[in-house]
Amino acid sequence: MYIKNFKRLPNMNLNPPKLNMDTPISIIIGENGCGKSHLLASLAYVGPDEDNIVLAIATSIYDKFPKRNYHRNYHYMGARLGRFIPREVIKQAVIKTDFLNSKEFTSIYKVLDYTGYDQKIGFKFSGLSSDYLEQLFTIADIDDSSLEKAIHAMSSLGSTSQYINLEFDILWFNNNEKRYNSNEVLLSELLQLEKILRKHKIIKSIDIYLSKKNRSFPLNKASSGELSLISTLIFISSFIDYNTLILIDEPENSLHPKWQKRYISMIMDMFSYHRPRIVVATHSPIIISGTHAEKGVDIHKHTNSGFQLDNHFIKNTEEIYSDLFDLITPASRTLSNNCSKLLNDYSDEIITFSQAANQITNYISMSYDDAQIEFLQGINDLLNQIKDNRD
């Protein structure tokens, strides 16, 4: 199946590519302002099939995705929704899956394991009023059914959790608990009522905790890159179905180079059963280089004639540099390969930034060719970009 007719958005001036939607992965590249984000936004409207789920993911506040599309089974996650996205994504996933060791929620534990965390997740009722049960009976702006659920959930969690003090302790759930646990359903019900509980100052918030090597800490203490990756994968796991279309705009923002390299393969590994179709707009050569082992990858590069299918260069590191970053590829293939290895070694933390920078300086001192010097200066810029993303 091919998509050729894209919905035109305001200020959209591009010649869209002929996307083969039978190809699992499509990557869109080009300079800023060439229409990559508009193209993804168009796909959010037209998609391959009205019945298929469309997931739109963005890390920049300048994405062009619609927040809602009432004519499609469409879900959006982006920076425009606010800075608490990871927290809300996890809470909505808990609510949606009903209880935490359901088949669907095991994917959340898998996400945590994939990103180096322990396979457990904690919840804490911060600022819980000492007389919370009495206060619940005074709430007037809630229907009887919801009030009954809140009272039942709070009293049950407080009494049946023998070793849990709701005012001070973290309520943990983990992937090793395969048996049904009623606390999971109770937690889901309380998350649905959190806004009302906060409004009446029964709680300040329901906070989420993670654990790494058995050391626990609040969700917001994780790095921005880890939070971005965790929220993305959990968001996908909450909605994905067979043949879901996943649109991702500039996923490299805040991501450590290691995660950039594994980004697309990670999504395909985790959700291969659903056979998703992924369309990514990116500036990152690391993300592109990480797809070399994937089958079915189309690269669409923006040219003067619009977006053109240009798959051959993904096999050639030199062309990635020249096509994406306007670097003049030197005649010396050895130098190019050495620079490629240098950046990959730094991305994989095999060498330090100082070692990589010193080696580039050494190459410049040995070069007498203007094109090579310009190329090496571009490599140095890429090295600094990788360092900035890591920091």
In a shared domain, residues 210 and 184: yes
Q: DSSP letters along 318-355, please?
A: HHHHHHHH-PPPPS-HHHHHHHHHHHHHHHTTSS-HHH
- Asked if 104 and 74 sit in the same domain, the reply is no
Q: Is the pLDDT of residue 248 over 90?
A: yes
Give the mean pLDDT of 317-322: 59
Q: Are residues 299 and 329 in the same domain?
A: no
Q: Are residues 262 and 336 in the same domain?
A: no
My answer on whether 208 and 96 are in the same domain is yes
Q: pLDDT (tens digit, 9 = 90+) per residue, 250-286?
A: 999 888 888 888 899 989 988 888 899 999 999 888 8
The pLDDT of residue 369: 76
Residue 37 belongs to some domain of the structure: yes
Over residues 229-253, the mean pLDDT reads 91
pLDDT of 102: 60
Is the Cα dihedral 83, 89, 94, 98 positive or negative?
A: positive
Q: Are residues 174 and 291 in the same domain?
A: no
Classify residue 24: in a domain, yes or no: no
Q: What is the 3-state secondary structure (H, E, C) of 272-292?
A: HHHCCEEEEECCCHHHHHCCC
Is 274 domain-assigned?
yes
| CA gap 172, 196 in Å, rounded | 23
Round to whole Å and give the CA distance between 368 and 382: 21
Which of 221, 252, 284 is where one domain is finished? Answer: 221
Residue length, the chain? 391
Average pLDDT of the segment spanning 1-10: 49
Mean pLDDT (whole number) for 157-185: 64
Mean pLDDT of the chain: 80
Per-residue pLDDT at 166: 65
- Residue 326: per-residue pLDDT: 54
Instruction: Give tens-digit pLDDT for 346-360.
Output: 988 899 999 999 999
- Does some domain include residue 21? no
Residue 22 lies in a domain: no
| Same domain membership, residue 283 and residue 172 | no
* Same domain as 158, residue 203: yes
Q: Looking at the domain assignment, is residue 250 inside a domain? A: yes
- Is residue 174 one of the residues assigned to a domain? yes
The pTM (predicted TM-score) of the whole model is 0.76
pLDDT at 9: 47
If you average pLDDT over residues 13-40, what whole number do you get?
Answer: 76
231 inside domain: no
Question: Which structural domain, as residue segments, surrounds residue 287?
Answer: 2-11+30-80+240-314
User: Which range, 17-21, 99-103, 143-147, has the best average confidence (pLDDT)?
Assistant: 143-147
Q: 165-169, 186-190, 268-272, 310-314 — which is least confidently predicted?
A: 310-314
Whether residue 342 sits in one domain with residue 291: no
Choose the final residue of a domain: 285, 314, 343. 314
Q: How many domains does the chain have?
A: 3
**151 lies in the same domain as 44:** no
Report d(CA 124, CA 119) in Å as an integer: 17
Token pair of 369 as six digits: 């060719």
Q: Please check whether residues 96 and 193 belong to one and the same domain.
A: yes
Given 277, 299, 314, which residue is the final one in a domain? 314
What residues contact 74, with CB distance under 8 A and at least 6 apart? 44, 53, 54, 55, 56, 66, 68
Does residue 321 register a pLDDT over 80?
no
Nearest in space to 41 (alpha carbons), one of 265, 303, 247: 247
Residues 35 and 93 in one domain: no
